[in-house]
Amino acid sequence: MQPVVVVNAPAVSLTTTYSAGSALSQGLSIWARNAVFFFGVSVLASLPMGAASRLFLPIAIARRSLGGWALWMVGATVSGILGLIAKGFVTYSVLEQLRGRKPPFAEALAKGWSRAGLLFFVAFTTGILLFGAAVALVIPAIVLSVHWVLLSQVVVAEGDVDARARSAQLTAGHRWSIFGLMTLFWVVSFGLGTLARRLFGANLLTLTLPSALVLSVTAVVYSVIYYQLRSEKEGVDIEQLTAVFR
């Protein structure tokens, strides 16, 4: 009998492909296991918008006040920037959980905070660009929002790169399905907000919590999409993707 020869085979890279359905399903599963943390971070990001809608929007509408509209816009802009930062905080936790490890909340916050300056810069400059596009025409702002939907994930996982160009590169070829998910989230946010205000009136909670809930879910789902797109387009598995964190 000839001796058995053991051959060391190369490790198999476990890659995946993008699917809107699987990203939504997987994202909701991860969100459900971390709802308190993800929702809490998102509430903090949504508070300026909720406060501005409670304090200044009624004045802007009733009195046709430009100052009221300006203050409401400031609240909306601040929440938009904080929303992108919140998504960055969530990204690390989601990617690690896709790897099979659930990091402590403090660790996830620390990793997100280490990118907070870069996240703020990217969010601020992107907000200006989107505002300009929205003022010019609504459609360009929507198109750019789809192109740049993965900004936070790119900043956290890849660092100091051209996050807008990188997000546009990753989303290319799948933008209609991503737009479909974004539309679904917008409809759910609008529906939940409308229902909450009809049941409990327009107060700080009803103007903040529904949008914060949807923000927390989108942060998770977009992180899953980021992984799926990198895996599909670049052959990167989750171990390779998260190696940057170690």
Q: Give per-residue pLDDT as tens, 5-56.
A: 433 333 334 578 899 899 999 999 999 999 998 999 888 888 877 777 777 6
Which of 188, 187, 184 shows the shortest CA–CA distance to 213?
A: 188
**pTM across the whole model:** 0.84
H helical segments located in 17-162: 20-33, 35-55, 57-63, 66-98, 105-114, 116-136, 138-147, 151-158
Query: 């909720």: which residue's tokens?
Result: 50
Query: 């390779």: which residue's tokens?
Result: 240
Q: List, for residues 112-130, the tens digit of each pLDDT value.
A: 777 878 888 888 888 778 7
